Amino acid sequence: MKTKLTRRLAVLCSLIPAADTLADVGCDHGYCTLYALEKGLCRKAYISDISALSLHKAEKLLSRYMAEGKAESVCCAGLEKIPPSVGAVIIAGMGGEEILSILREGFLPPKLLLQPMQNTPKVRAFLLENGYAIERDFTFRDGKYYDVIYAEKGGAARKYDARSLEFGYDNLHFPSEDFMRKVEEDIAKCRARLERAGKSVPAVEERLRALTEIRNENTRDI
Ligand SMILES: C[S@@+](CC[C@H](N)C(=O)[O-])C[C@H]1O[C@@H](n2cnc3c(N)ncnc32)[C@H](O)[C@@H]1O
């Protein structure tokens, strides 16, 4: 791949699983699919986007693979025109609610790589309720902070409690520098909100308490 990937895309690409067929839903530029095809992670990939203009960018990037029949483009909402037999689906850079409606209205593939922009706890809960084992679930920084989740149907499940659902399993069990930096920033944001409010705001106080607990757990031995 000639283009240097942003850190966000590099992290996403590093988590793309091997599968016979792959679908990149809301592919836009198509970099994830290019990576998967170049690395031989799939035999065939479907690129899809609700916007014909966005899809056109991916069609251009992947023209060689499209000509070989290794990539096929479909302009559609969510999974509408994706064969339900695909082994893995990537949905990245969309809101969590949007991702969930795509999955609810479509189908649940064996492997899912998701990068929700908001509402990640709802995405985690949905996956666990629907028989997925969440195998990777962490926050990383590329200018902004991003959450990424990789889940497989029927894999070896890790035990999620309420805190893991809220903050992400890997973040709590194997905290990264990026995650701890976000914890510090979120603590400062909560304090500023409470100061501005000048009164008790229970939801913010509870979040501040949970964040402080995570910080204390990870600074205890320093
Ligand atoms: C912010 S871009 C993310 C592109 C790429 N997945 C990434 O992570 O870099 C979101 C893309 O999703 C597409 N999109 C939004 N809602 C969609 C839906 N319901 N079905 C398919 N594509 C959708 C948009 O047109 C846009 O190209």
Each residue's pLDDT expressed in tens, for the chain with a length of 222 residues: 667 899 999 999 999 999 999 999 999 999 999 999 999 999 999 999 999 999 999 999 999 999 999 999 999 999 999 999 999 999 999 999 999 999 999 999 999 999 999 999 999 999 999 999 999 999 999 999 999 999 999 877 899 999 999 999 999 999 999 999 999 999 999 999 999 999 999 999 999 999 999 999 998 654
pLDDT for the residue numbered 221: 55
pLDDT for residue 37: 98
**Centre of ligand 1 from the C-alpha of residue 183, in Å:** 28
Tell me if 77 CB under 6 Å of ligand 1. yes
Q: Identify the pLDDT of residue 2.
A: 66
Q: Is 142 helix (H, G, I), strand (E, B) or coil?
A: strand
pLDDT value of residue 1: 63
pLDDT confidence of residue 155: 76
Spatial separation of the C-alpha atoms in residues 63 and 91, rounded to whole Å: 21
Its CATH architecture, for the domain 7-158, is 3-Layer(aba) Sandwich (3.40)
Is the CB of residue 102 below 6 angstroms from any atom belonging to ligand 1? yes
Going from the Cα of 104 to the center of ligand 1, the distance in angstroms, rounded, reads 17
Q: What are phi and psi of 46, to 5 degrees?
A: -105, 130
- Give yes or no for a contact between 5 and 30, defined as CB atoms under 8 angstroms apart: no
pLDDT score of 157: 84
pLDDT at 154: 87
Cβ atoms of 113 and 92 within 8 Å: the answer is yes
Question: Nearest to residue 19, comparing CAs of 50, 42, 52?
Answer: 42
Tell me the CA–centroid distance for residue 51 and ligand 1, in Å. Answer: 8
- State residue 4's pLDDT score: 87
Structural tokens at position 92: 């990245």
State the Cα–Cα distance between residues 222 and 216, nearest whole angstrom. Answer: 10
Q: Is the CB of 178 inside a 6 Å radius of any atom of ligand 1?
A: no
Helix residue ranges per DSSP H, 62-142? 63-67, 96-105, 120-129
